[in-house]
Amino acid sequence: MIKKIYENLEEAAGVGLLAIMALFAFLNVITRYLIQYSFAFTEEIEVACLVWLTMLGAAAGFRRGTHLGFDLLKMRFPNLGRNFLSPLASLLTIVTVCIIVWFSIVQMKDEIALNITTEALNIPHWWYTLSMPVGGVLIILRVIEAARKRFKKESA
């Protein structure tokens, strides 16, 4: 049961986020039609959900191996690709995501220190920024899982 939840974590969270976004968008359309005003705060929530959804989608893409890749060299030099290019691509991805996580943590610290809040709901902005390090850690885990799976498949 826990394994199944872990394997489908991104998809389940993505469905929830999409449902929230759709509900708020629908409510906003209805209120604009009925009372000629919109709920401005819903856009803030929708944008925050979209950032979370992007990070979760990237993690799911790495888990499934569906991200676009530059396979020309790997196809031209199969041994080089298997032994060098695939691990190098995984390593560079992890390094890049670690940089993103690092700077997002720095940004969160600044937002906490400066007590920055959102404009519409007046909640701490770092709650939204938290999507970057959490999503980044998920991406790193999924890249490692995919690399291990690829290594096992190619060595067999």
Bridge partners (DSSP) of residue 124 are 117
Average pLDDT for 48-76: 83
Contacts of 80 (CB under 8 A, 6+ apart): 73, 74
- Model pLDDT for residues 36-61, shown as the tens digit of each residue: 877 778 888 898 999 999 999 999 99
SS (H, E, C) 2-27: HHHHHHCHHHHHHHHHHHHHHHHHHH
Contacts of 13 (CB under 8 A, 6+ apart): 52, 56
Answer whether 101's CB lies under 8 Å from 136's CB: yes
Q: What is the pLDDT of residue 4?
A: 82
Tell me the CA distances in angstroms from 126 to 15, 62, 93, one per residue in order: 23, 26, 25
Q: Which residue has the tokens 């989608």?
A: 57
- Model pLDDT for residues 107-143, shown as the tens digit of each residue: 999 999 999 998 888 999 999 999 999 999 999 999 9
Any idea where the domains of the chain sit in the sequence? 2-155
